[in-house]
Amino acid sequence: MAGRTAAPRPLDVRKGDTVVVLTGKDAGKRGEVERVVRNPVTLEAVAGGRDKGRQGGTWKRVSPRGDAVIVQGLNVAKRHTKPRPRQGRTERQPRIQQGGIIEKAMPMAVSNVMVVCPECGQPTRVRHGRVADHSVRLCARCGSPLTKPGKP
């Protein structure tokens, strides 16, 4: 049976938000969200016992990782690369890819970060409300909007 995707819920963290990291090696540090990585949970049928492929059985999660965010300058991994010849090279590009140590910000689970309110400067949970006939994210501490009413 084909995989089934759970309905995605809108995330409280968006690109450009300032967040504070709650757990891990960068706990307590603040940074700006570069990118949000959505990973919907896919459900797949698992047949039990001898009746594989028949009706019945249970559902299991195929992709246990949920949504993630990439925060600028945090959760950085270093990758050591060798110089290698490039494929499809032209006269403008160098023939050998330069080697060295590349630092790259890796995704972290969205549950490990908390949005920082731009008004009160405190980490806060996100409430949803309406301002001037627009749905906006609100700070749970001071009630000020986290996004401009005109922007999605």
pLDDT of residue 29: 95
Residue type, 100: G
The residue behind tokens 């403008």 is 92
User: Check: CATH 2.30.30 for 7-116?
Assistant: yes
Query: pTM for this one?
Result: 0.67
Kindly tell me if the per-residue pLDDT of 70 is higher than 80.
yes
Report in angstroms the alpha-carbon separations of 49 from 6, 43, 59, 60. Answer: 26, 19, 14, 15
For 13, which DSSP code? -
- Domain residue limits, the chain: 7-116, 119-152
Judge whether residue 84 has pLDDT over 70.
Answer: yes
- Higher-pLDDT residue of 91, 119: 119
- φ, ψ of residue 83 in degrees (nearest 5): -65, 130
- Average per-residue pLDDT for the chain: 79
